[in-house]
Amino acid sequence: MSAEPLSWLASRRAFLGASAVGLGSMAFRALLGEGAGSVPTMDATHHRPRAKRVIYLCQSGGPSQIETFDWKPELSKRRGEPLPESVRRGQRLTGMSGNQAILPLVGSMAKFARHGKCGAWVSDLLPRTASIVDDLCIVKTMATDAINHDPAITFLCTGAEQAGRPSMGAWLAYGLGSSNENLPSFLVMCTAKPADQPLYARLWGSGFLPSEHQGVQLMPGQDPVLYLTNPADVSRESRRRQLDALGALSADQFAREGDPEILSRLAQAEMAFRMQMSVPEAADLSAEPQEVFDLYGADSRKPGTYARHCLLARRLAERGVRFIQILHPGWDHHGDLPSGMVTQCRETDQASAALVIDLKRRGLLEDTLVLWGGEFGRTSYSQGPLTAANFGRDHHPRCFALWMAGAGVKGGLQWGETDELCYNIANPERDAVTVHDLHATMLHLLGIDHTKLTYRYQGRDFRLTDVFGTVRRELLA
Amino acid sequence: MTLSLLLDGGAPSGWLAVFGRLHPAILHLPIGLLAAAALVELTIWFFGGSDSRRAPMALIATAALSAILAASTGLVLHEEGHTGEAVETHEQLGIAVAVLASLAAAAHARFTLGKQLLSLVLYRVFLAAAVIVLIPAGHFGGNLTHGENFLFEPLEERQAPAASNAPAGGGDAASPADLYASQIAPILASRCAGCHGEEQQKGKLALHTPEGIARGGKSGALFSGAKPAESLLLARVKLGLEEKGHMPPKSKPQPTEAELAALEKWILAGAPMGASGVAQGSTAVAPAEPKEAAPAAIEALRAKLVHVQPIAQGSPYLWVDFAAPASRTTDSDASALLEPVTEQVAELSLARTKITQSSLALVARMPHLRRLDLRATELGDAALAALGKHGAIEELILAQTKVTDGAVETILALPKLTKLFVWGSAMTADGVARLRRERPELLVDDGAKPDAEKKEVEATPKVGTQPPAAAAGAAPQPVNTTCPVSGQPVNPKFQIVFEGRVIGFCCQNCPGKFWANPEEFRSKLP
């Protein structure tokens, strides 16, 4: 690692030496690139990209595929019957339902109908999403390795179940950099609501990549980025002079010590300086017309809601942010699924669909990939007692549904079939899409060969897809 | 040749194809046997020998037989699509060997029967002729399998060191158009043209001329647009070494990483072939590809925080996005920054900037501009008209601009336009309808809400199901009042569907016991 920024520094220094600008604070600003932020690894994408940015609507907790996109009438017909061993085939369950006397099958609590030209089955919990199915590529045969939240969502966000790897957005920031030098290339927003499953910073962390590539979290409230504004009585000019002085000192320190984190820290300070202007502008919704708030739903007026974040995501996409990750917790319906699903879908359905519609009419969906999904699915049997009006569903990694839209994805496609009890993928060799496949396909759309975007750390080249992943061209237009 | 009449024009298949493919094995028999026969004959001639002619007879008879077999297998193999001058020559010489060997065998047979000296002389003449013809036949055959010049290559100086030493990135000098002459042609010559070249064209593929490259082979065109991922050529080369169809064949020298990278870069650039000017696949000749933009021009854009990036590695085309400085960007900024890169810009976003007509006049001079994003600008019809009949724009985003129905003519004058976004502009439904009418293939997005009509609603399931209403709290009534497992009163919360009937239980544990052996409890049910 250490060789790279040094040679980069050397070439920049040679450039500066050749020009008439002396070293010093000005020079160091140029060195870090006033117009370059941090220097991305790739000078250009490997191939022509279909997507220039990604909006990832991360549904944390694991939404039920059975109540959303995977219609299983057979489950309703066989309500209450135990899950046959011929289907389960001894596959592991969690400790939460593994010791249950029976695993009673239970069908969707929501009603399904076919929508759009493509005729996709979508439940009535998602009426707005149903209205845009022709733009969605619904993958019903996602599969993950992990059965518990922490490893599963870490896997989904970083490509590995163990903590410590860089997240998707960090890889992208590292590889391609920003397309708006006034904003970070990776921004994160978490719905402000109490939830069983914590949303921790590693899901948008930079792992072993230089730390300026980590996601920057936008907070609800007056200060979208905490501690970004200058303290009272500190002017912008004064802050500029301060950063110049810090830059000169850092240049000195870096020349002596060569620690790349010195550059990272300064890059972040410079980015923060630019963000003092750009973030308030991007987060200011005062110019948005009522029609837009109507589209995203009344919640979009409230800071910290999912709807607000979807609207902000559109504004950030308009401004060229590469990776926008929205995390919405609360999908972990071990019990009280019927009421829980109604709440969760009400919080997300309209805004998710609105985002796609809003991007589309602005021409942004052409080069923006929108991704909706959680870390795993839910079991087709009830966790806990199955009663007339209530039941729950446990974690289910063997099949779950998510959707993609925009940028080169085949709209109106429903990919794959699960078995009639929604337990296994009917034809896994053909249909199963692994998390690694999802990452490989996403990077492919972004113009990146997933096997080539690597980072050497502790003697080994790492990549988002580790040693796995296939670009699933079947999903692409 | 003649065999093709027999095969009715089609390539051999099934056992006939297998027979043909025995050729490379069988052909060694006549070579060895004819050489042995000649050696025996020479030995007898110089040193004298027994009068027994049995050994020479056996030798020449099997030699003739194997030569005939080799020639006929060769004829079949030829029909599998091996073409080229060298193949024809090899075929004619091979047939000659078979004929001469047969004549020699006939003469020898005559001699063993009649002991006439003339027959022996004839035998020796035919045998000598067969051996002499065998040498060029074998040589041409060897060239076909191992590549032309396989034999003498070690004596020649390496012609094209540039090919394998070329840097992967393509480096400084070569513009994509020169790439073919400087790097690609040498790679194809050294790695491919042995089998797909002037001498022979296996799979009807010739890679030694631009025309041949553009034509492709039996399996189709080599490229599909400037997409390495869809290039048949690259796919075959990149296929695993053990895979069927990998090229060059496993036994042949493989291209280096640098050569692969050069090929990919070349295909990405649209596989230009320089002055010969044959564009890949398509018949249309694309406008000449520009040189890479001057580094100073790129630096100037970046200094103003304009995002600029090649659309792919090694491509001279640029994606330029004014996202960061948009709200401050005026005509003078945009013009000064864009003027030096007009040739290279392929995707341009001026969204949310303050530009006017004069910038669009500059945009009109961008010959390779494919995508133009003017979203949320103040541009109106007059400004848009400055685009003229731009011949390259495929996507145009006019959402949230001031264009009206008056822009319809300007839009219709863009020949390549396939996608148009006008939501939030002043264009009316009439204008959109007119665009759709006049250019049915043009996708016009005016932000109209998608049709939310449901196609088919889930049938309410009949027997044994829990209607969705259950979620709202309407519990169906169990058919029993006492729990079949415990005999306690039923709590309607705990129920299952068994054989189409709703069965109630007293607690959450009893359904498990019931399902473990329903027969045991059947008698307890009403």
Asked if B456 lies within 8 A of A114 by C-beta distance, the reply is yes
Asked if B512 lies within 8 A of A35 by C-beta distance, the reply is no
Burial of B47 (0-12, 13-18, 19+ CB in 10 A): exposed
Q: Which amino acid is at B228?
A: P
Do the domain assignments include residue A292? yes
Q: Are residues B261 and B326 in the same domain?
A: no
- What are the backbone angles phi and psi of residue B51, rounded to the nearest 5°? -80, -10
- Does A46 contact chain B (CB < 8 Å)? yes
3-state helix, strand, coil in chain A (%, to 5): 40, 15, 45
- Does A387 contact chain B (CB < 8 Å)? yes
pLDDT at B359 over 70: yes
Give me the pLDDT at residue A8, please: 45
CA distance B207 to chain A (A): 25
- Does A263 contact chain B (CB < 8 Å)? no
**pLDDT tens figures, B204-214:** 788 877 778 87
Question: Residue A346 is part of which domain span?
Answer: 43-236+283-475
Q: Are residues B414 and B479 in the same domain?
A: no
Q: How far apart are CA B516 and CA A102, in angstroms?
A: 8
Which domain CATH number covers B349? Answer: 3.80.10.10
Which of A82, A180, A361 faces B421 most closely, judged by CB atoms? Answer: A361
DSSP strand E in B217-350: where? 307-310, 318-321, 345-349
Which of A319, A360, A384 faces B445 most closely, judged by CB atoms? Answer: A360
pLDDT at B519 over 90: no
Which of A73, A363, A385 faces B373 most closely, judged by CB atoms? Answer: A363
* Helical pair B28-47 and B54-78, crossing angle rounded to 10 deg: 150
Question: Closest-CA residue in chain A for B452?
Answer: A131
Asked if A34 lies within 8 A of B303 by C-beta distance, the reply is yes
Do the domain assignments include residue B154? no
Asked if B323 lies within 8 A of A179 by C-beta distance, the reply is yes
pLDDT at B253 over 70: yes
Across B90-111, average pLDDT: 91
Do the domain assignments include residue B170? no
Q: How far apart are CA B316 and CA B345, in angstroms?
A: 9
Q: How far apart are CA B294 and CA B338, in angstroms?
A: 12
CA distance B235 to chain A (A): 15
Give me the pLDDT at residue B474, please: 47
DSSP 3-state of B332: helix
Which of A46, A101, A104 faces B509 most closely, judged by CB atoms? Answer: A101
Which of A114, A183, A386 faces B455 most closely, judged by CB atoms? Answer: A114
- The answer for B 185-204 residues in CB contact with A (under 8 A) is none
Which of A46, A386, A388 faces B312 most closely, judged by CB atoms? Answer: A46
**pLDDT tens figures, A87-119:** 998 899 998 888 888 899 999 999 999 998 898
- Does B517 contact chain A (CB < 8 Å)? no
Asked if A112 lies within 8 A of B302 by C-beta distance, the reply is no
Q: Which residues of A touch B454 (CB under 8 A)?
A: 113-115, 130
Q: Which residues of B touch A64 (CB under 8 A)?
A: none
**Residue of higher predicted confidence among B496 and B34:** B34
Give me the pLDDT at residue B170, please: 37
Q: Are residues B16 and B73 in the same domain?
A: yes
Which domain CATH number covers A58? Answer: 3.40.720
For chain B, give the mean pLDDT.
Answer: 81
Q: Are residues B409 and B301 in the same domain?
A: yes
Across B427-436, average pLDDT: 93
Q: Are residues B299 and B440 in the same domain?
A: yes
Q: Are residues B201 and B139 in the same domain?
A: no
pLDDT at A15 over 70: no
- A131-135, B248-252, B391-395: the lowest-pLDDT one: B248-252
Q: Which residues of A touch B303 (CB under 8 A)?
A: 34-35
Give me the pLDDT at residue B161, please: 39
Give me the pLDDT at residue B177, please: 59
DSSP 3-state of A394: strand
> How many structural domains does chain B have?
4
- B85-89, B465-469, B490-494: the lowest-pLDDT one: B465-469
Asked if A281 lies within 8 A of B327 by C-beta distance, the reply is yes
- HSE-up (13 A, CA, CB side) for residue A21: 14
Give me the pLDDT at residue A298, please: 94
Do the domain assignments include residue A325? yes
Cβ–Cβ < 8 Å for A66, A107:
yes
Q: Are residues B314 and B370 in the same domain?
A: yes
Q: Are residues B247 and B339 in the same domain?
A: no
CA distance B2 to chain A (A): 45
pLDDT at A24 over 80: no
Give me the pLDDT at residue B241, please: 75
Do the domain assignments include residue B450? no
Q: How far apart are CA B152 and CA B144, in angstroms?
A: 14
How much is the ipTM here?
0.86
Asked if A46 lies within 8 A of B324 by C-beta distance, the reply is no
- The answer for A 181-220 residues in CB contact with B (under 8 A) is 181-183
Give me the pLDDT at residue B287, please: 60
- The answer for B 391-450 residues in CB contact with A (under 8 A) is 395, 397, 399-400, 419, 421, 423-424, 445-447, 449-450
Q: Which residues of A touch B511 (CB under 8 A)?
A: 80, 101-102, 104, 386
- What pTM was computed for the model? 0.67
Give me the pLDDT at residue B176, please: 58
Which of A73, A178, A386 faces B461 most closely, judged by CB atoms? Answer: A73
Across A337-350, average pLDDT: 95
Do the domain assignments include residue B249? yes
> How many structural domains does chain A have?
1
Name the residue with tokens 């998390």: A435
pLDDT at A314 over 90: yes
pLDDT at A22 over 50: no
Q: Which residues of A touch B227 (CB under 8 A)?
A: 47-48
Do the domain assignments include residue B282? no
Which residues have a Cβ under 8 Å from the Cβ of B428 and sit 6 or more positions away? B404, B405
**pLDDT tens figures, B36-70:** 999 988 888 888 766 678 888 889 999 999 999 99
Q: Are residues B385 and B336 in the same domain?
A: yes
Which residues have a Cβ under 8 Å from the Cβ of B213 and sit 6 or more positions away? B188, B206, B207, B222, B271, B273, B278, B280
Question: Closest-CA residue in chain A for B351?
Answer: A318
* Cα torsion through A348, A354, A356, A357, rounded to 10: 160
Q: Which residues of B touch A333 (CB under 8 A)?
A: none
CA distance A183 to chain B (A): 8
**Residue of higher predicted confidence among A404 and A262:** A404
> Which residue, B241, B276, B311, sits at the end of a domain?
B276
- The answer for A 299-338 residues in CB contact with B (under 8 A) is 318-320, 338
Give me the pLDDT at residue B179, please: 75
**pLDDT tens figures, A46-77:** 999 999 999 999 999 999 999 999 999 999 98
Do the domain assignments include residue B155? no
Q: Which residues of B touch A360 (CB under 8 A)?
A: 445, 447
Which secondary-structure segment (H or E) carries B504? Answer: strand B501-505
Angstrom distances, CA of residue A187 to CA of A213, A309, A435: 10, 11, 22
Which of B309, B455, B458 faces A111 most closely, judged by CB atoms? Answer: B458
Q: How far apart are CA A178 and CA A321, in angstroms?
A: 7
Give me the pLDDT at residue B435, please: 94
For chain A, give the mean pLDDT.
Answer: 89
Do the domain assignments include residue B458? no
Give the pairing type, strands A433-434 and A136-143. parallel
Do the domain assignments include residue A391? yes
pLDDT at B423 over 90: yes
Q: Are residues B478 and B439 in the same domain?
A: no
Q: Which residues of A touch B309 (CB under 8 A)?
A: 43-45, 179
**pLDDT tens figures, B366-377:** 999 999 999 999
Q: How far apart are CA B524 and CA B416, in angstroms?
A: 77
Between the two ends of chain B, the Cα-to-Cα distance in Å is 87
**pLDDT tens figures, B147-205:** 776 777 777 654 443 333 333 333 344 465 577 777 788 788 878 887 887 767 777 78
* Helical pair A236-257 and A25-32, crossing angle rounded to 10 deg: 80
Q: How far apart are CA A471 and CA A466, in angstroms?
A: 14
Name the residue with tokens 């972004």: A446
Q: Are residues B122 and B184 in the same domain?
A: no
Give me the pLDDT at residue B350, please: 96
Q: How far apart are CA B217 and CA A476, in angstroms?
A: 27
Give the number of A-B residue pairs with CB atoms closer than 8 Å: 211
Do the domain assignments include residue B49? yes
Asked if B450 lies within 8 A of A131 by C-beta distance, the reply is yes
Confidence of residue A197 (pLDDT cuts 50, 70, 90): confident
CA distance B165 to chain A (A): 21
List the one residue out of A324, A330, A418 whose CA is nearest residue A364. A324
Q: How far apart are CA A164 and CA A206, in angstroms?
A: 8
Question: Residue B311 is part of which domain span?
Answer: 295-445
- The answer for B 237-256 residues in CB contact with A (under 8 A) is none
Structure token digits, residue A254: 């870096």
